[in-house]
Amino acid sequence: MVILATNIKNDYTFMENILKSLGIQEINNGCSTGTNYFASGDVIESFSPVDGKLIAKVKVATENDYEKVVQVATEAFKFWRNVPAPKRGEIVRQYGEKLRAKKNDLGKLVSYEMGKSLQEGLGEVQEMIDICDFAVGVSRQLYGLTMHSERESHRMYEQWHPLGIVGIISAFNFPVAVWNWNSALAWICGDVCIWKPSSKVPLCAVACHNIWNEVAKANNLPEGISCLLVSPGSVGEKMCEDNRVPLVSATGSTRVGKIVGTKVANRFGRSILELGGNNAVIITPNADLQACLPGIVFGSVGTAGQRCTTTRRLIIHEDIYEDVKQKLISAYKQLRIGNPLDENNHVGPLIDKNAVKDYLVSIERVIAEGGKILVPGGVLEGKGYESGCYVKPCIAEAKNEFSIVQHETFAPILYIMKYKTLDEAIELQNSVPQGLSSSIMTLNMREAEQFLSTNGSDCGIANVNIGTSGAEIGGAFGGEKETGGGRESGSDSWKAYMRRQTNTINYGTKLTLSQGIKFDF
């Protein structure tokens, strides 16, 4: 069950009220198939990185609970796949409307449990609303092509069918939006979902599922269309190995993605992998620095550097290097670090003290490899920083080939370096194992087009005059190389949640073989 911590009732009445408004009370568990909540595992605790206080305790699901969930989801799929797609879209529309009504409370919970700024928390819920709107439109456009047959009196076309159960494994840094990127599209495609959220942010997941349950109950939907499993890693591994789950969509580190991808591939299942990023911005002498600097700084420090699209590297032309460097140092001095629920602050905490250790180790490593610290890092202490999770955004001069620069550190550390020619800059940008997001800052059309060309960025996302961080719902989101190659959200990403079928109909009086083959007897 979810047990509300007593300190919330004493010290944080506003959070107690928010949790209750989102249906998080002592009757809820971390395992649900809809209106039925149950869990038979251990209890985990959710602490806020904002102040280090205990928010609640959640009883988690076991492998036996997982088995119950899969059975219920399997039965639900038999019903859901036969509901016309536009009617499935209507259910998703209603879910989006519920999110609109609860946006402020859910956004505050995201901010408090995860640690991102309130505006980012609200923005994440807005992403959920946007993908619901997008999915509603797609529910009337699950199109297939019609092809001309080489055979007389034959018609050929393709259609798309639901896959079945979609397993969704989400990370702590976007505790609600990425799940909904997947679930909204899966639902309109006729699939049912089993969600395993990060155990670092279980309450956000419970809240989202409670909102879904309100919609399901109002429409007399069966249990199992959307299921929740707050659980340890073993349950996630079980999902990856389960032939009854044809698609697993996983967001997380490259290390975790390799495990998920291998296990799913071993049973010939499908996977959507959204993994690490090591994103760079190229700044040319033709850049409008005044316009692009805010995007660079936000891309570097937003969510305290805990986005897969965070700007990790800045590749600056040698002619403007010193100018840009000084502007960055000045901008970093103006950053306000503190409670993310205070809208005056720019940067909140890291998710936990393990993340703080990784941050400190990375700074030590860049120094050991020969880097120069321009804006010192460090852990903040004292009033307002009691959780021990607040750190200073750091800037270091470094070389692209440093091993620590090749590695993704999920923290606000920015590496800057020089280049002479655009070809060299693009080579630096591409010379990392990851390939998620990239940007170039320039007003020169030729430079912009070269960056976007076949000889340009090798990332799944390539931007001009905007930062690496942030993505609109309308475009497919994902990356190449060790980022996993998956695509979620917009464009035709819905196809990943369905199976393609080619159909040929003979409406003539004789059977004609293809390729002119004759078989007479």
Q: Where are the domains of the chain?
A: 2-275+487-500, 279-472
Report if pTM > 0.85. yes
Strands 154-162 and 498-506: antiparallel
pLDDT for position 326: 97
Kindly list the catalytic residues. Answer: 274, 308
Q: What residues contact residue 27 under an 8 Å CB cut-off, 6+ apart?
A: 1, 37
pLDDT for position 11: 56
DSSP assigned state of 190 = T
- Distances in Å between the Cα of 97 and the Cα atoms of 92, 170, 359, 444, 521 are 9, 23, 39, 43, 64
- Report the chain's C-alpha Rg in angstroms: 25
Question: Residue 213 and residue 408: Cα distance in Å, rounded?
Answer: 37
Map 333-351 to HEC letters. HCCCECCCCCCCCCECCCC
CATH assignment of 279-472, among 3.40.50.920, 1.10.3720.10, 3.30.930.10, 3.40.309.10: 3.40.309.10
Mapped onto helix, strand or coil, the DSSP state of residue 295 is helix
Question: Residue 254 and residue 261: Cα distance in Å, rounded?
Answer: 10
Count CB-CB contacts under 10 A for residue 225: 27
Instruction: Pick out the chain residues at pLDDT < 70.
Output: 1-13, 27-28, 521
DSSP assigned state of 399 = -
pLDDT for position 1: 46
Q: What is the DSSP string of 35-104?
A: S-B---S-EEEEE-TTT--EEEEEEPP-HHHHHHHHHHHHHHHHHHTTS-HHHHHHHHHHHHHHHHHTHH
Question: Residue 392 and residue 414: Cα distance in Å, rounded?
Answer: 11
- For the chain, the helix, strand and coil percentages under 3-state DSSP, each to the nearest 5: 40, 20, 40
pLDDT for position 5: 52
The helix (run of H) or strand (run of E) holding residue 225 is none
The helix (run of H) or strand (run of E) holding residue 126 is helix 118-138
The helix (run of H) or strand (run of E) holding residue 444 is none
CATH assignment of 2-275+487-500, among 3.30.530.20, 3.40.605.10, 3.30.70.100, 2.60.40.290: 3.40.605.10
Copy the structure tokens of residue 137: 């439109």
Q: What is the DSSP string of 239-271?
A: HHT-TT--EEEEES-HHHHHHHHHHHHHTT-EE
CA dihedral (197, 201, 202, 205) positive or negative = negative
Residue type, 164: G
Q: What residues contact residue 252 under an 8 Å CB cut-off, 6+ apart?
A: 169, 171, 260, 274, 275
Question: Residue 170 and residue 164: Cα distance in Å, rounded?
Answer: 19
Q: At what angle do helices 202-218 and 103-114 cross, to 10 degrees?
A: 160
Question: Residue 348 and residue 111: Cα distance in Å, rounded?
Answer: 9
- Confirm if 87 and 80 have CB atoms less than 8 A apart: no
Q: Is 521 exposed, middle or buried (0-12, 13-18, 19+ CB in 10 A)?
A: exposed
Question: Residue 214 and residue 95: Cα distance in Å, rounded?
Answer: 9
